[in-house]
Copies of this chain bind each other. A is one copy, B any other.
């Protein structure tokens, strides 16, 4: 408003203008994650972004469009981070798996992007198409990455044989809960630092995956199968 350098006016404006959409989605993400979609008022989003409510409608057709933009922007970020690592990484699957989990935490789980996971979890039934899209673009790809590592580990004798699809979910769950817990009740990571939690998860997991002769678990498994019909 009180521009001291009139020569710079145009670029400044340009920059603001270009930055607007992501300023808005950033504010929206925070509030959507904290309160949920329906409970978030556009008034509050605008206020947090420091603009008027009307301005939101210059960039997004509707509240739903804003929400979708938030999710899509988050997905782009996630996928961009992931693609970088697809990597020609070579070496033991054990190391690779550990690497992937810690990477995920550093690139995604510990950032605001983790909020997108919470949104998908909480709002998926209200936005089925968006959820499906997320499923295809993010979840399926992420699972594929893990599947590759697990297969390699099993084939190479590092990991014992197991139900790979199920294992993928079991591996992801603690990461996801850790990320989501940042925005709500600490259901799982109460009184524990993220580092301790992750370390314990990785250690337990790699120990559990490791191929060793002890046949004791098998009995238990059968018993469990019976209990679950």
Q: Which residues of A are at the interface with B, using a C-beta cutoff of 8 A?
A: 34-39, 94-95, 98, 102, 105-106, 117-118, 120-126, 131, 134-135, 139-140, 143, 162-163, 165-170, 172-174, 176-178, 180, 183-192, 194-210, 212, 214, 216-217, 220-221, 223-225, 227-229
Q: Are A209 and B199 in contact (CB under 8 A)?
A: no
Q: Are A39 and B126 in contact (CB under 8 A)?
A: yes
Which residue of chain B has its CB nearest to the CB of A195?
B228
**Inter-chain contacts of A117 with B (CB < 8 A):** 187
A34-B125, A139-B190, A204-B204 known, 12 other contacts, Cβ within 8 Å: A35-B126, A37-B39, A102-B227, A102-B228, A120-B187, A139-B185, A166-B189, A170-B174, A173-B178, A203-B220, A204-B205, A205-B208
Q: Are B187 and A199 in contact (CB under 8 A)?
A: no
What is the copy number of this chain in the assembly? 4
Q: Are B120 and A163 in contact (CB under 8 A)?
A: no
Query: Can you spell out 24 A-B residue pairs with CB atoms less than 8 angstroms apart?
Result: A36-B39, A36-B126, A37-B38, A37-B39, A38-B38, A98-B223, A102-B228, A106-B227, A121-B187, A125-B184, A140-B190, A143-B190, A166-B197, A166-B200, A166-B201, A167-B200, A169-B177, A169-B189, A172-B177, A195-B228, A203-B208, A203-B220, A206-B217, A207-B208
In the assembled complex, the Cα of A187 lies from the Cα of B143 at a distance in Å of 10
A37-B39, A134-B185 are known contacts. Are A163 and B192 too (CB-CB below 8 A)? yes
